[in-house]
A = this chain, B = another copy of it.
């Protein structure tokens, strides 16, 4: 039986519900967004009793489909005020799927009192007082839960930032090694979890790849074919498995799209010092790993394990994190980046948002640009809950308001990631228009703009960017619903067999007769549902715009502005 686990934190009631028919064909982002749209009043306070936290594995999660272990977390975002889905790797999605759990729905709000832990096993679910975990970092919480409940459990948790309702707080879960840093980071869903008084969810299930499949043979053949499609692609099969996502550092720098000094320049003279190549070299020399799978069955293994000078380990350092704590702050030191990354992971903050926020603080003169030790000291304030720590935890847009900064890289209140919209204009269109707030993963036009994957659209020109972003946003909404890692898109965009093979896996698993068009329609529908929620929450066209300075300041070295017109942006969702 496919089921929802519904936990009411006001009454502490726990219900296991049969999944209503209209949700059976949904998973991941499609399911979290539909449930949020159906059950959460769009104008409610995101940290109040009427918001809900929805956690769902993807449609293919828990099967042998390669790289399909993404976990979606959804709710109304306290950072953007709109609907939110953030997803992460880690082992929990596969465990939930193997327990037959399509979604966990956390609702209500306790009047006060201790934090709780939700324990889910094959025998059922249970809400347990967890006051002893309150205030602890995610590393310690995960270690305690693995000691207490077994070292194979998946632990979904928040750090002190989420407990303190900081708007940049993320929700994390662990990989097979017990490393707790697989973050559904963006949009402050950790604060939503904190507002529910829920510190952690422990998922115990011995199975990983045994979610029910209607036609196992057909599925196996399709999964095998899909693995080959991935491995045959230069990005999925070579670039990512060799250097991880940070292979992008030199590439984006070369393209002149690397935001430097809070989006003032497009190239960084120390990019090589913080690149994936350098990271691999240092990590391996110190006994770490240049490559690592965030969940079992991933063939791309784009993660890494970076030993720090203090003996601790930061795993992973993603490109966007290396960017936001590196070039964005004019810091050219991987050890500083690792330390900032580690603090964020432990205290429970989204790294991209935090890096953007530190950039705003540097813009305001609170910390000098390039001063890694000052940045570390400032970030350490977060766990203490000091006024400065609170500001950092509230994200870039709020920090900009507090410090009177106008050069704030954020859309819908969410910080802009590692690709400057003036020299990667397709991403600019995505940042402006996605219902998620500025988010590179929502329509990753770096593909055609810079990597020449899925064709080529000149990144410095506006022509073709709206169509590119639209197609990518639709495809992404669909991929985010399958549980597949978004990185499969590199191969899928270049290989005409890619999408049909995903559809073949879905049909073999569910006994459906979906076509490629149905999957595109699913993606469109997800976006429509999300846009409707946002409209009712108060979003308008005025929210689908980039900050003013991107349209008035030239970005070196290409000296381009973001010039996609308002009326062109309004054509992204023309379906």
Residues of A whose CB lies within 8 Å of any CB of B are 42-45, 47-48, 50, 78, 164-167, 191, 194-195, 366, 386-388, 390-391, 393-394, 398, 401-404, 406, 535-543, 545, 547-549
Residues from chain B with a CB closer than 8 A to the CB of A536 are 542
Contact B542 A43 (CB under 8 A): yes
**Smallest CB–CB gap between A487 and chain B, Å?**
33
Residue of A50, A387, A536 contacting most chain B CB atoms (<10 Å)? A387
Considering the chains assembled together, what is the distance between the CA atoms of A403 and B391 in angstroms?
A: 8
Considering the chains assembled together, what is the distance between the CA atoms of A341 and B166 in angstroms?
A: 31
**Which residue on B lies nearest to A538, using beta carbons?**
B542
Partner among B50, B166, B398, B545 whose Cβ is within 8 Å of the Cβ of A548: B50
Residues from chain B with a CB closer than 8 A to the CB of A43 are 542, 545
Considering the chains assembled together, what is the distance between the CA atoms of A536 and B542 in angstroms?
A: 7
**Which residue on B lies nearest to A169, using beta carbons?**
B404
Residues from chain B with a CB closer than 8 A to the CB of A535 are 540
**Smallest CB–CB gap between A401 and chain B, Å?**
5
Contact A543 B547 (CB under 8 A): no
Residues from chain B with a CB closer than 8 A to the CB of A406 are 45, 47-48, 195
Considering the chains assembled together, what is the distance between the CA atoms of A165 and B402 in angstroms?
A: 9
Considering the chains assembled together, what is the distance between the CA atoms of A191 and B191 in angstroms?
A: 30
Contact B547 A404 (CB under 8 A): no
Closest 7 CB pairs of A and B: A165-B404, A538-B542, A387-B387, A387-B388, A45-B548, A394-B402, A538-B540
Considering the chains assembled together, what is the distance between the CA atoms of A549 and B393 in angstroms?
A: 24
Contact A48 B398 (CB under 8 A): no
Considering the chains assembled together, what is the distance between the CA atoms of A21 and B47 in angstroms?
A: 51
5 additional contacts, CB 8 Å, given A44-B548, A195-B404, A398-B398? A42-B542, A166-B404, A167-B404, A394-B402, A538-B541
Partner among B48, B402, B545 whose Cβ is within 8 Å of the Cβ of A402: B402
Residue of A42, A45, A386 contacting most chain B CB atoms (<10 Å)? A45
Residues from chain B with a CB closer than 8 A to the CB of A165 are 404
Partner among B387, B401, B537 whose Cβ is within 8 Å of the Cβ of A167: B401
Considering the chains assembled together, what is the distance between the CA atoms of A386 and B386 in angstroms?
A: 12
List 6 A-B pairs, Cβ < 8 Å. Answer: A45-B406, A45-B548, A167-B404, A387-B391, A391-B402, A539-B540
**Which residue on B lies nearest to A164, using beta carbons?**
B404
Considering the chains assembled together, what is the distance between the CA atoms of A208 and B539 in angstroms?
A: 47
Known: A398-B398, A537-B542. A45 touches B390 (CB 8 A): no
